[in-house]
Copies of this chain bind each other. A is one copy, B any other.
Amino acid sequence: MSQSELKSSAAWIAVDWGTSNVRAWAMDDRANILDQVSSRLGMNAIAADAALGFEGVLIDLIGRWLPSGASDRMRVVICGMAGAKQGWLEAPYCSVPVRPDELASGAVRPVLSDQRIDVAILPGLKQVDDPDVMRGEETQLVGFMASQPGFDGWVCLPGTHSKWARVSGGAILGFKTYMSGEVFALLSGQSILRHSMDDRWDDATFEAAIRDASDAPTGFLHKLFTVRAGGLVGNANAANVAGAAVLSGAVIGSEIADVVGALDGNAQIALIGDGKLAGLYRKALAVHGFDAHAVDGQAITIAGLAAAHQAIRNA
């Protein structure tokens, strides 16, 4: 499709504005993607550079999709950190339990210099008891629920701050965040365990660590040190162990042990993402006898933004 055709056909713009990246999609009225663009100007980069502002960054990113002549304002629907306190304009958290239309009605509208756009920033989600928050993932959950309206179970969103959400009856009932990704990154990159990380990987080692994390959950901080000590004690079995597989299994295993403790054996689990990390979560869940259904992360982000766009338009 040529640029001129695209310009005439984009009906609205979907944006996922994260901590370290921003991605935007030009959408038509039937939720098809016409074009996409991304940059490293996430919330942190904008906060760190006084010369940058959210509106200017957005216009630079999506300007080529905006009509040049007089026209209705282009609706831009944004999820993620643009709505954080340190973001563009704070979109206060909605509380669980919540339904998708309630989330959309919590969108906020920043004052704009550019008259060609109309921006809605979606709220994050909070849980007051067992304090927890998310920003961005709630929109993925909405997109997931739109694609599987009858889903009754848990949705896992692995990542820096891994999330598990309980979804039932068309609502998000509650959720739980685990610092697994950040803890793994700190330990593998900056702790003494960095000396024990290499390219070796072994599924059986990973799966054994997943089981250990469940059988001996208080042993977590000791298990970490065995990654280092294994290479020093002259125990050939221990020295030949892939350190990254033990560390990864200990961290993901701790999270999974906590979650499966709250599940019955027939629980449905949907796993967002199809990359390497989601593959590890799938293996970890299989150790506990659960078969997780994998769902594409970007597709549900866009579906969630499309659902919000529709709810805002119909409001």
**Segment from A105-113, A179-187, A197-205, A264-272 that makes contact with B:** A179-187
User: Is A220 on the interface with B (CB-CB < 8 A)?
Assistant: yes
Query: Which residue in chain B gives the minimum CB-CB distance to A224?
Result: B179
Asked if residues B176 and A222 are in contact (CB atoms below 8 Å), the reply is: yes
Q: Report the Cα distance A251→B222, complex, angstroms.
A: 11
User: Is A71 on the interface with B (CB-CB < 8 A)?
Assistant: no
Contacts of A213 in B (CB 8 A): 218
Asked if residues B221 and A178 are in contact (CB atoms below 8 Å), the reply is: yes
**Segment from A55-63, A72-80, A130-138, A151-159 that makes contact with B:** A130-138
User: Is A232 on the interface with B (CB-CB < 8 A)?
Assistant: yes
Task: Output the least CB separation between A306 and chain B (Å).
Answer: 28
Of residues 207 through 230 on chain A, the ones whose CB sits less than 8 Å from some CB of chain B are: 213-214, 216-222, 224-226, 228-230
User: Is A4 on the interface with B (CB-CB < 8 A)?
Assistant: no
Q: Report the Cα distance A257→B217, complex, angstroms.
A: 10
Q: Please give the count of copies of this chain that the complex contains.
A: 2
Task: Output the least CB separation between A37 and chain B (Å).
Answer: 28
Contacts of A176 in B (CB 8 A): 222
Contacts of A182 in B (CB 8 A): 191-192
Query: Which residue in chain B gives the minimum CB-CB distance to A239?
Result: B131
User: Is A234 on the interface with B (CB-CB < 8 A)?
Assistant: yes
Asked if residues A224 and B131 are in contact (CB atoms below 8 Å), the reply is: no
Given A126-B232, A233-B126, residue A190 in contact with residue B179 (CB < 8 A):
no
Of residues 138 through 164 on chain A, the ones whose CB sits less than 8 Å from some CB of chain B are: 161
Contacts of A183 in B (CB 8 A): 183, 187, 191, 221, 224
- Identify A232's interface contact among B130, B133, B187, B232, CB under 8 A: B133
Q: Report the Cα distance A127→B126, complex, angstroms.
A: 46
Contacts of A11 in B (CB 8 A): none
User: Is A314 on the interface with B (CB-CB < 8 A)?
Assistant: no
Q: Report the Cα distance A80→B145, complex, angstroms.
A: 58
Asked if residues A234 and B126 are in contact (CB atoms below 8 Å), the reply is: yes
Asked if residues A238 and B180 are in contact (CB atoms below 8 Å), the reply is: no
Q: Report the Cα distance A158→B254, complex, angstroms.
A: 23
Of residues 236 through 278 on chain A, the ones whose CB sits less than 8 Å from some CB of chain B are: 238, 251, 254-255, 257-258, 261
User: Is A301 on the interface with B (CB-CB < 8 A)?
Assistant: no
Q: Report the Cα distance A233→B218, complex, angstroms.
A: 29
Query: Which residue in chain B gives the minimum CB-CB distance to A193?
Result: B179
Contacts of A233 in B (CB 8 A): 93, 126-128, 131-133
User: Is A235 on the interface with B (CB-CB < 8 A)?
Assistant: yes
* Among A176, A218, A225, A229: residue with most chain B CB under 10 A: A218
- 6 A–B pairs (Cβ distance < 8 Å), ordered by A: A128-B238, A177-B225, A178-B222, A186-B190, A217-B220, A218-B257
Interface residues of A (CB under 8 A from B): 93, 126-133, 161, 176-180, 182-183, 186-187, 190-192, 213-214, 216-222, 224-226, 228-230, 232-235, 238, 251, 254-255, 257-258, 261
